[in-house]
Structures are given as structure tokens and as C-alpha cells.
Amino acid sequence: MESKPTTSHAQAPILFVSVGILAVCGIFYELIISTFTAYFLGNSILHFSLTIGLFLFFMGVGAYLSRFFTDKYLLDYFIQLEILLGIIGGLTGGALYVAYAMTESYYLVAFILVGLVGSLVGLEIPLLTRIIHQQSFELRHTLAQVLSFDYLGALVASLIFPLFMLPYLGLLRTSFVVGLLNLAVGISNIYVFKEQLQNFRLQLGVALSAVSLYIFGFAYSFSISGYLEQLLYQDEVVLSKQTEYQRIVLTQWKEDVRLFLNENLQFCSLDEHRYHETLVHVSLGLHPAPEKVLILGGGDGLAARDVLMNDKVQRIDLVDLDKTITDLACQNPALRKLNQNALKNPKVRIFNQDAFKFIEKGGELYSVVIIDLPDPNEISLGKLYSEEFYRLVGKVLAKDGIVITQSSSPYFARKVFWCIGETLKQVFPHNLPITLHVPSFGQWGFQIASRVPLDKAEPRLLRYLKELENKKKTRYLRASLWESLKIFDPDMSYLKVEPNNLSTQYIIQYYEDSWKQLNE
């Protein structure tokens, strides 16, 4: 005996609108889990790919399971599904925070969430299609309209997430909002189809209770986020901000100020002078007249601070993608104290652009190029350690110019360090690696390159370092330390590795392998 149509043509619009909203929610859930995993574990390409692949697989599982739902109670099943998905989905952000901060089972929790949410999302479209088809719509019309709304919703979500949700709401608030959207779909369908439901009061009560919980969560999301984020750091979180590019966190304990980008330490105020003095003054000292300096990265202003110690420097162009970072360096009291208000100096010009695009345009020549970028732990950063990038750097570098780049750890990421050196050799005939100990980072290193012999410039460098020492401008770097900076212990010594370029991105694999071995 055929079941009677459960809905009328007049009620169909609510179902089609539901399809679009559910598509938005489904894409949001994929992006939330992928983004959390990339922030916590790095390598965004790998984790986005794995999360989306697994999510689609479990959507297939959900679609298959839909065959076991009988036609008689399809509306009830659909509404219950939305309530359940809203409850689980809204908790996704908090669950991933806790899993990473308090357990060793982040991957397991993320996998369970992908499995649960993906399967529930996979159930939605088959159930909705069957509900609409029961209205006596032809199957071809039903599928055409359902899939059209589904794909349209996916497009909307893919645009809204990076442009609005992530930078303005953050991941935790976005989780609550998406959970509320699922619950809103359930509640609106309860209202429209209440005469056809088995127990609409119970379903409505559960949905409204969950809505109340998430409204509370949204209202207090900054407090909740602050508490969860504090679990990730040893020191007090004094600033936390999500931008369209990254998560910025500033912590402080007494005089120890630390900056983290996407959970990765960028500097510790107690020892950053070791890093920045070596990065800046070695490159400036090797050049006879460093009048124009280009800093790629370094949005915290610490490299610019040290460059300004050199009276020969007439102009500094600083290129950092994220305007929020350079604004903080100009406005935040802790950062301004550390960088000595360097970014407000009239010699400094700030460009909030992609470093690759900036030097691609060219137009000016620089005496010294200082590359102070995060480690190459994902494709978007790997391109800034490529042969193609260094060739562009060469075009903006004066004939006698010096380029220096931070190069990760020659001990913890040995292949990465020597890969950067090998890549520079493809562009510049003269190369010099150096290394030092930075307590908060461990053993660290830089690669220096030029078109002119570097060894002939060393006497000039030593005179410059002695001058800085006599004027008490440096706390760590001394002329007497120079020879030690060139010494690499056997377990950090040269390795034959492949140079990095845009088509291969060997450096990403080297980086993943190095830190994987460290964690084993």
C-alpha cells in the first residue's frame, strides 16, 4: 500500500530553503574541522584533503543508510536528524579544542566528529528528496531542484566562511552559529509540518533547549574561547585574535612575552635578541653601505628595530601579509615596548601584501633583503622558500647585495635547513650557513647568500660587530662569536638534499619528516 503524500505543494518552499541552508552547514562543518586541524597540526593541504575526503566518504555512508528509513515517518526522521546534527555540530569547536589541549587523541576525536557529522549530513539530501517526491513532484524535477539548491548553498558557504565567519566570528562562535542554523531548520519544519508529526511537542522542546544552550554559548563565547585557549598555553593569554590569515595569540608571564601564530611560537621576549641580532646585524655588517633594506615578514617590528640601529640605513620597506600583525606591533603596549616603536619610525614603510607578489612587481633595488618568515610547514609558505622566489629576490637585490633568511633548525629540521641552502645556491653563487642557540627555539639557523664573495666581507663584518659592542647596542652578538656561528656539529652538518621549487615543494616533505621523527 502506497503512503500518502506527507506534504503539499504549498509547503514545498520550506523544504527547498532547508536544502540550501543544510548545504551551507555541511560545508561549514568540513571547513571548521579542517581549519582546526591545520591550526593545531600544520600542513593545511594534507589536513584539508584528509578531512574533506573522509567527510565525503561518510556522507556516502549516510546516503546509503537512508535506504533503511521508512517512508511513513520521513518528516519525523528528518527533523530529529536536524536536531541531532545541530547538537553535535555546535559542539565541534569546543570538542576539538579540548581534544588537542587535554588529550593525546586529537586525531581520534576529529575522526569521530568527521564520521558522525559526515554521516548525518549524508542522510539529509536523500531524506529531503524522498519527502519532496512524496508530494507527487516528478523525480527529475525533484532531483533538479534539490541539487540546485544544494550546490548553491555550497557556493554561499565557501564564500562566507573565509570572508566573514572566520575573521569576524572565529572558529568557536562559527561552530555555535552553524549548530543554530541546523536547529533553526528543524524548528521551522516542526512549525510548518506539526500536524503531520508524531510528537512535535517533544521535538520542539528538545530543539528549543539546544537553541537556548547555543545562544548562551554564543553570548559567552569569548569567555569560553579564552578558557579553552588558555589550556593550550603555559602563560596567561593576554591577546587572542583571529584574522583571515591566521590565529594570533600573545601570552605573558612577568617579563616573558610570547607571540604565537596558528599555535606556532614566533618569539620569546627573553631571548629574541639572540635571533634578531644575528639575523639583522650579520647581513648589515657584510654590506659596505646598507642604505635600503627590505624585510619580508617581521610584522612584529623586532627585525626593523635592529635594522634602525645602523645609521647608514636610510629606508626600510617591511612586507607582511597580515595587517593585523603590523597594527598590533604599532599599537599594543607590550609589542611597542619590545620593538621600540620601530614601525612608527619615518624610515619604515609598511606594505601589507603577499611577499611573493610584492617582489614579483619589482621596481626597486635593495642593499639587503632580510627574510623573516614562518617555517615552511605548508604549501603557501613553502613557495616563499622556492628557487622561483629566490630568483625574484635576486631581481630586487643590488649587485653587491646581501640576502639572509631564517632557515629553521639545522638540528631538529636538518633536511629543511640544508634544502634552503641548496635552493639559494641555484640562484646565488656565494652561500654561507650559520647557526646559534636560541633557548626558546633550540638550535636555530640562517642562510646567507650573495653574488659577491662573502668571505672577503668578513673583516668588515667584524669591525661592525665590534662597533656595536662598544656602543652597547647588542646584548648577544659579538665579533668574538663570529667563528663559532659557522661551526656545525656532526649531527647538524651538511646533507645532500634536493633544492625546493614550486613544482616539487620538497621542503614541505622534509619539514613533515623532520618533525615526525622528533615526535616519535
Q: Cell numbers at residue 482, please?
A: 663570529
* 25 burial level (CB within 10 Å; 0-12, 13-18, 19+): buried
Q: Choosing from 76, 306, 372, 375, which is the catalytic residue?
A: 372
Alpha-carbon distance of 504 to 426, in angstroms, equals 15
Is 372 a known active-site residue? Answer: yes
Alpha-carbon distance of 486 to 436, in angstroms, equals 9
Alpha-carbon distance of 424 to 499, in angstroms, equals 8
Q: How many other C-beta atoms lie within 10 A of the C-beta of residue 70?
A: 8
* 333 burial level (CB within 10 Å; 0-12, 13-18, 19+): exposed
Alpha-carbon distance of 206 to 200, in angstroms, equals 10
Asked if 431 and 448 count as a contact pair (C-beta separation under 8 A), the reply is: yes
303 closest CA partner among 362, 356, 345, 246 = 345
Q: How many other C-beta atoms lie within 10 A of the C-beta of residue 285?
A: 26
Residue in this structure with the C-alpha cell 642593499, named with its chain if needed: 367
Alpha-carbon distance of 203 to 188, in angstroms, equals 12
| DSSP SS3 for 292 | strand
Element (H, E) at 351: strand 348-351
Asked if 405 and 397 count as a contact pair (C-beta separation under 8 A), the reply is: no
Sign of CA dihedral 240, 326, 434, 515: positive
B/e letters for 488-508, b = 16+ CB within 10 Å, e = fewer, are beeebeeeebebbbeeebbbb
- Which residues are bridge partners to 446 per DSSP? 406, 434
Q: Mind telling me the catalytic residues? A: 372
